[in-house]
Amino acid sequence: MKHTIDAQGKRIGRIASQAASILMGKNSAAFAKNKVSTDKVEIINASKIDITARKKTADIYVTYTGFRGGLNSESLGELITRRGMTEVFRRAVTRMLPNNRLRDERIKNLTVKE
């Protein structure tokens, strides 16, 4: 089943938590923790979300390469200009899913349209 979430005028976290819940299959009667749900989620109007100017500078995304001195950080505004809103939603939903072997399979069922 395909679910469509309209992101216009809403916050990132609200949309991401709703999408993560659907991707885990919690809205289905046949929910099982160890199964990947067949539901697909599409987020539309991603570029029209409600982001404050303070949030663009205050939210910091930190990644680590695994090497010495490999700690990289960038603000939300820099991430939007570099990768777009698609990457912002993908990271938000990915971090709300359980960190296990099924995470990669579940995130493949997410599509984001700006």
Percentages helix, strand, coil for the chain (3-state, rounded to 5) are 40, 20, 40
**Separation CA 72–CA 18 (nearest Å):** 29
| Secondary structure class of 67 (helix, strand, coil) | coil
40-44, strands of its sheet edge to edge: 2-6, 40-44, 110-112
In CATH, what number is assigned to the domain containing residue 83? 3.90.1180.10
Q: Tokens standing for 25? A: 């299959």
pLDDT at residue 27, as a whole number: 93
Place of tokens 């809403």: 10
Q: Which residues pair with 4 in a beta bridge?
A: 42
pLDDT at residue 71, as a whole number: 97
Domain span at 63 = 2-112
pLDDT over 70 percentage in the chain: 100
As a residue count, the chain comes to 114
pLDDT of res. 39: 94
Q: What is the pLDDT of residues 30-82, one digit of tens each?
A: 999 999 999 999 999 999 999 999 999 999 999 999 999 999 999 999 999 99
Distance CA(90)–CA(15), nearest Å, equals 11
Domain count, the chain: 1
Give mean pLDDT, residues 15-29.
96
Amino acid 18: pLDDT? 97
Instruction: Give me 49's structure tokens.
Output: 């979300």
* Cβ atoms within 10 Å, residue 12: 21
Q: State residue 58's pLDDT score.
A: 96
